[in-house]
Amino acid sequence: MNVPTPHIEAKTGDIAKTVLMPGDPLRAKKLAETYLTDAVCYNQVRGMLGYTGFYKGKRVSVQGSGMGIPSIGIYSHELFNFYGVDRIIRIGSAGAFDVSLDVGDIVLGMGACTNSNYAAMFNLAGTFAPIADWNLLKAAADAAEKLGIKYKVGNIVSSDTFYGEDKKFSEGFRDMGVLAVEMEAAALYMNAAKAKKQALCILTISDCLFKEGSATAEQRQNAFTDMMEIALEIA
């Protein structure tokens, strides 16, 4: 496919090799305005804002993905395959299964389980296990250590639903040692694997499913700075 695409109006060369990808386009805007110098907006299609600028001399882009596997599936596919992006680092919120996690804690998604049927389009003769790129994962852990940020590495699960009726979903994945639930990482990891690119999901805990704890809507948009700083350090 030629660029621009139906979803991204950028021209060839407008987007950096490394893209930070929050679900919320307003979080992308805040990150660009707060951390990047000489930031230029390259995408406003469907309100899914994208910017390219510089962080400590490194050229970096930040692009909203929207919510859910179908949406991040579109944006990550186009960035990897049509815009020459080498690595995408998702930064987003998650609900904690692990009771040792508190609101504001960081989770690095080593692997991403899912109840989505996204993998079916690859026509595999078995079950694919979506995983993060090791080099990005190690770099993120090292950056968190350097910055003094509490974090945990482990399995997460990407759910196709936000409002679920089945308590066995959360309990079952919790009992398998899955740390937290979100809605995008599995598709990102699969698209990266298919395109021979790099991907990582860095999450901030916004809710605790098996104990008290929940972030406000404003906190979800504006206050989750630790994961942004880790992502920028490894960009």
The catalytic residues are 207
Q: Where are the alpha helices (DSSP H) in 86-224?
A: 134-147, 167-175, 185-195, 217-222
3-state secondary structure of 86: coil
Q: Are 76 and 192 in contact (CB under 8 A)?
A: yes
CA angle in degrees (0–180, nearest 5) for 210-216-221: 115
Residue closest to 88 by CA, chosen among 208, 176, 195, 13: 195
d(CA 20, CA 234): 10
How many of the other CB atoms lie within 10 Å of CB of 161?
A: 12
Beta bridge mates, 93: 204
Helix axes 25-35, 225-234, angle to 10 degrees: 70
